[in-house]
């Protein structure tokens, strides 16, 4: 029988070999960290200056809350190391702008707040207690989406959830951090899934793993063999298999309607790293102050999967990996399909940083774009059934009304259309501009 699959998608060169067999290495404590007040989707954090006197010259401990926002869709940020606050103010951010951040110089002692302790047995925790722990730990979607995890664990009462999916697809080329997390922290992923199922009252848990990671799939399959309501699911290898609508369709057969959230079809999904973070918050009382990321690309001297404290500067991570070669053409944070090219390495690792890529001409093909030849490859590659060429043209001509009529807002910027286009037209970049303009006008 043919494997279930979704419409569209592409098969880029995956280039995961350089790091897929490298165990996660804990990077030494950074000399300083820069902690931006915005590391999630939703309301940015405000500095807790009045409450805890976070100001220049103050000593902070690891795990100390630095910023928060009372808004429901938000997540607090914490100090990733102990040390002295040496600066507060706008700092370069991987999103390409300056955002208010707290800079902490390490005291080298890594002293933790003494309120970081285990929450107790999962059986004894109420649903509200679980949601509160996840919120207070500042946990967001670590696959790159950075949506606050407690929000996904708190659906409205009229949207019952029966299935939780753990996303181990890691369909972006080059990235292997999730693969290594699955191999090295499998038990923590499964415990995190149980926590989510309890919080949501879900009767079924599915761990989806792309079939280009057979060792991780087999391990998950073995570890959940005795579980009645948890299973491992082998996903076909195709980009963007890890996007939530594609993942839900392939793993459950349910179709999330355009413009709707997965909860409409009774499903919530979380990345494997998010599951581990939730486990650590419950078992150790640890807030989200570190993450696993992949550092790779032909320009990296020593590729690695690293456990890095948040706020560590990308320049310090690159230095730890032996630096980058002079032939590096492009520095990217995230994967090559959905990541963002960076003009500088003077930016901090944030909660959504799944990878750092130094790409040379071995990895990227830089070409001038040429006129559209109407081949329709972009249309057949679009997993959302959109017409990328028409939306991009509307955006390029400033016709944002037309772009909206063509469902530009349903585009989740997977980049398949740009990747497949023989004329190298930057379709997704134009669509992104169009989406921003449409949203600006809506918000007015
Ligand atoms: S239009 Fe958007 S969703 Fe469709 S292929 Fe392009 S980037 Fe992906
Ligand atoms: S893939 Fe490129 S050349 Fe082909 S129709 Fe789309 S925009 Fe035009």
Q: Which atom of ligand 1 is nearest to the CA of 410?
A: 3
Q: Does this chain's domain 24-110+287-359 share its CATH topology with 119-284?
A: no
CATH topology of domain 119-284: Rossmann fold (3.40.50)
Where exactly are the structural domains of the chain? 24-110+287-359, 119-284, 377-443
Phi then psi for 374, rounded to 5 degrees? Answer: 55, 40
Q: Which of 8, 388, 421 to mutate to test the pocket of ligand 2 (most atoms within 8 A of CB)?
A: 421
Distance 336 CA to ligand 2 centre (A): 20
Q: Which atom of ligand 1 is nearest to the CA of 391?
A: 1
What is the C-alpha separation between 113 and 13, in angstroms, rounded?
Answer: 44
Whether 106 and 76 have beta carbons less than 8 Å apart is answered as no
Distance 422 CA to ligand 2 centre (A): 7
Q: Which atom of ligand 1 is nearest to the CA of 428?
A: 7
pLDDT of residue 109: 96
Nearest-CA residue for ligand 1 atom 2 is: 411
pLDDT of residue 256: 95
Rg from Cα positions in the chain: 21
Other CB atoms within 10 A of residue 301 CB: 12
| Pocket of ligand 1 from Cβ distances under 6 Å | 381-382, 384, 386, 388, 411-417, 427-428, 431
Whether 281 and 142 have beta carbons less than 8 Å apart is answered as no
Angle at 315 between CA 112 and CA 36, to 5 degrees: 50
pLDDT of residue 234: 96
Contacts of 418 (CB under 8 A, 6+ apart): 378, 425, 426, 427, 428, 429
What is the C-alpha separation between 123 and 198, in angstroms, rounded?
Answer: 9
pLDDT of residue 201: 97
For the record, the structure tokens of 384 come out as: 């959302």
CB neighbour class for 241 (10 Å; exposed up to 12, middle 13-18, buried from 19): buried
Nearest-CA residue for ligand 2 atom 2 is: 421
What is the C-alpha separation between 321 and 352, in angstroms, rounded?
Answer: 20
Matching residue, tokens 């409450």: 51
Q: Which of 258, 390, 391, 411 to mutate to test the pocket of ligand 1 (most atoms within 8 A of CB)?
A: 411
pLDDT of residue 118: 82
Q: Which atom of ligand 2 is nearest to the CA of 420?
A: 1
Distance 417 CA to ligand 1 centre (A): 6
pLDDT of residue 52: 61
Q: At what angle do helices 127-136 and 272-284 cross, to 10 degrees?
A: 100
For the record, the structure tokens of 229 come out as: 């309501």
CATH of 24-110+287-359, one of 3.10.20.600, 1.20.120.1760, 3.90.226.10, 3.40.50.300: 3.10.20.600
Residue 324 DSSP code = B
Ordered per-residue pLDDT tens for the chain, 444 residues: 556 789 999 999 999 999 999 999 999 999 999 999 999 999 999 998 755 667 778 899 999 999 999 999 999 999 999 999 999 999 999 999 999 999 999 999 999 998 777 878 899 999 999 999 999 999 999 998 899 999 999 999 999 999 999 999 999 999 999 999 999 999 999 999 999 999 999 999 999 999 999 999 999 999 999 999 999 999 999 999 999 999 999 999 999 998 899 999 999 999 999 999 999 999 999 999 999 999 999 999 999 999 999 999 999 999 999 999 999 999 999 999 999 999 999 999 999 999 999 999 998 877 789 999 999 999 999 999 999 999 999 999 999 999 999 999 999 999 999 999 999 999 999 999 999 999 999 887
For the record, the structure tokens of 411 come out as: 């585009």
Distance 88 CA to ligand 1 centre (A): 38
Q: How far is CA 256 from the centre of its chain?
A: 20
Query: In DSSP terms, which residues pair with 294 in a beta bridge?
Result: 305, 355
Contacts of 398 (CB under 8 A, 6+ apart): none
What is the C-alpha separation between 275 and 285, in angstroms, rounded?
Answer: 14
What is the C-alpha separation between 200 and 153, in angstroms, rounded?
Answer: 6
What is the C-alpha separation between 207 and 223, in angstroms, rounded?
Answer: 11
For the record, the structure tokens of 29 come out as: 């404590």
What is the C-alpha separation between 164 and 202, in angstroms, rounded?
Answer: 7
Question: Which ligand has the shortest distance to the CA of 431?
Answer: 1
Phi then psi for 239, rounded to 5 degrees? Answer: -85, 135
What is the C-alpha separation between 207 and 197, in angstroms, rounded?
Answer: 12
């Amino acid at each position: 029988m043919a494997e279930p699959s979704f419409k569209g998608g592409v098969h880029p060169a995956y280039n995961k070999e350089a790091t897929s067999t490298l165990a996660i290495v804990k990077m030494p404590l950074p000399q300083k960290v820069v902690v931006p007040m915005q590391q999630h989707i939703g309301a940015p954090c405000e500095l807790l200056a009045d409450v805890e006197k976070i100001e220049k010259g103050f000593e902070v401990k690891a795990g100390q809350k630095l910023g928060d926002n009372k808004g429901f869709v938000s997540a607090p940020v914490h100090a990733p190391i102990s040390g002295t606050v040496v600066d507060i103010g706008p700092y370069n951010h991987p999103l390409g702008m300056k955002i208010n951040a707290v800079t902490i110089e390490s005291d080298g002692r890594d002293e933790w707040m003494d309120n970081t302790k285990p929450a107790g047995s999962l059986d004894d925790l109420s649903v509200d207690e679980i949601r509160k722990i996840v919120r207070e730990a500042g946990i967001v979607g670590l696959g790159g989406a950075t949506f606050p995890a407690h929000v996904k664990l708190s659906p409205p009462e009229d949207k019952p959830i029966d299935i939780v999916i753990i996303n181990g697809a890691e369909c972006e080329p080059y990235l292997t951090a999730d693969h290594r997390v699955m191999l090295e922290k499998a038990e923590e992923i499964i415990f995190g899934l149980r926590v989510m199922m309890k919080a949501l009252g879900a009767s079924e848990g599915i761990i989806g793993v792309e079939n280009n990671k057979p060792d991780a799939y087999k391990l998950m399959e073995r570890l959940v063999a005795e579980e009645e309501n948890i299973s491992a699911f082998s996903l076909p290898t195709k980009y963007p298999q890890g996007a939530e609508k594609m993942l839900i369709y392939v793993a459950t057969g349910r179709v999330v309607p355009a413009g709707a959230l997965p909860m409409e079809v009774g499903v919530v999904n979380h990345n494997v790293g998010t599951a581990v973070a939730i486990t650590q918050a419950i078992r150790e009382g640890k807030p989200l102050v570190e993450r696993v990321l992949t550092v790779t690309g032909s320009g990296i001297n020593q590729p690695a999967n690293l456990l890095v404290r948040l706020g560590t500067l990308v320049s310090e991570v690159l230095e730890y990996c032996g630096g980058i070669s002079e032939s590096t053409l492009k520095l990217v944070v995230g994967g090559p399909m959905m990541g963002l090219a960076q003009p500088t390495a003077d930016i901090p690792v944030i909660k959504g940083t799944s990878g750092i890529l130094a790409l040379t001409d071995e990895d990227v093909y830089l070409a001038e774009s040429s006129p559209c030849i109407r081949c329709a490859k972009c249309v057949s590659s679009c997993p959302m059934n959109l017409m990328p060429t028409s939306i991009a043209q509307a955006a390029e001509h400033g016709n944002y009304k037309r772009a909206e009529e063509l469902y530009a807002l349903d585009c989740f910027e997977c980049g398949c259309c740009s990747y497949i286009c023989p004329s190298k037209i930057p379709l997704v970049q134009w669509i992104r501009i169009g989406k921003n303009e449409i949203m600006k006008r809506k918000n007015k």
